[in-house]
Structure 1
Amino acid sequence: MKFYKISSVFIAFCLLSCDEKSSSNIYLYSFQKSKAERFLLEIKKENHNKLYFYSNKKDSIKDLNIVYNLEKDFLVSEKDTFYFIKKSYKTKDYEYKMYQPKTIKSHTITLVFHKNYGLLSSSVWGADFLFLKDSLSSFKNEAIFKEIMLEKNKIYLE
């Protein structure tokens, strides 16, 4: 009986801690390069935030860290804070929200994000990226990115 109680506590602890941290491989596609780069995405929940660590084993300079505030729905990177702009991009699995900084500088940066997936796309003048969990053809990547750009540009037409 004592073993059963200890085992139950251990299993409950494992189940609860599994929800707190996860990791997966991500393929980063850039339209300036023909080959995808592999990243490891680690997601960790802390208090009212979810932390997303994108690490490149070959080049740590390319690492990216993003914090998502679960209560107030905004993103923080090393460079800026991004706010939901009431636009989204829908796939069969998720509805990704679009985020931009409050003040637009020389070029608008748009992040396409879902709290369970992480980044799907990062778009700024001349530096556009897709963050995918699957390796897809360049044709499919371009089609996804064009769909995202159409949704993003609707922002300026309304």
Structure 2
Amino acid sequence: MHIYRDKAGYDHATKVSQLLSKGGLERRAVTPDEMRAIEPTLAGSYYGGFYTESDATGDIHKFTHGLAQAAERRGVTLKYGHSVQDIGADEQHAWITATLEGEADGEPVRETFDSVVVCAGVGSRALAAKLGDRVNIYPVKGYSITVQLDDAASQQAAPP
């Protein structure tokens, strides 16, 4: 759920929601009362929000580590610690020019590949554009905390 304390923030989020909807993300506007029904421990004064039924949380480190292992089992070569300087493709191959972090001379090296998977977060959009692809990735803000719930009162007050 994305929550907004004022009309200006909510109005901006409405425009963002329209953009996200074009990309296939379904989320709905919610009133402060609906927000509290969704999240009973929510406190404070809010103008409104947007709720996405399909949102979930997970351990991103565990997921990406497992994904990398699965890719390696299927013969993928992973390259870590590189800074991509350029990327391109023609009808036969893709190429990447990159420098390896910590290398003494720091000279860029160009390698050719049969295929490339772009996994650069919000940086993916610019890299994919150089390959002639449009990746619909939009940066969003989020927060995560880990809290020790050592007593019954804390455990009861925590969201499910």
TM-score tier by shorter-chain length is under 0.3
Structure having the larger proportion of residues in helix: 2
Q: TM-score, normalised by structure 1?
A: 0.24
- Computing the radius of gyration from Cα coordinates, the structure with the larger value is 2
Q: TM-score, normalised by structure 2?
A: 0.24
Structure having the larger proportion of residues in strand: 1
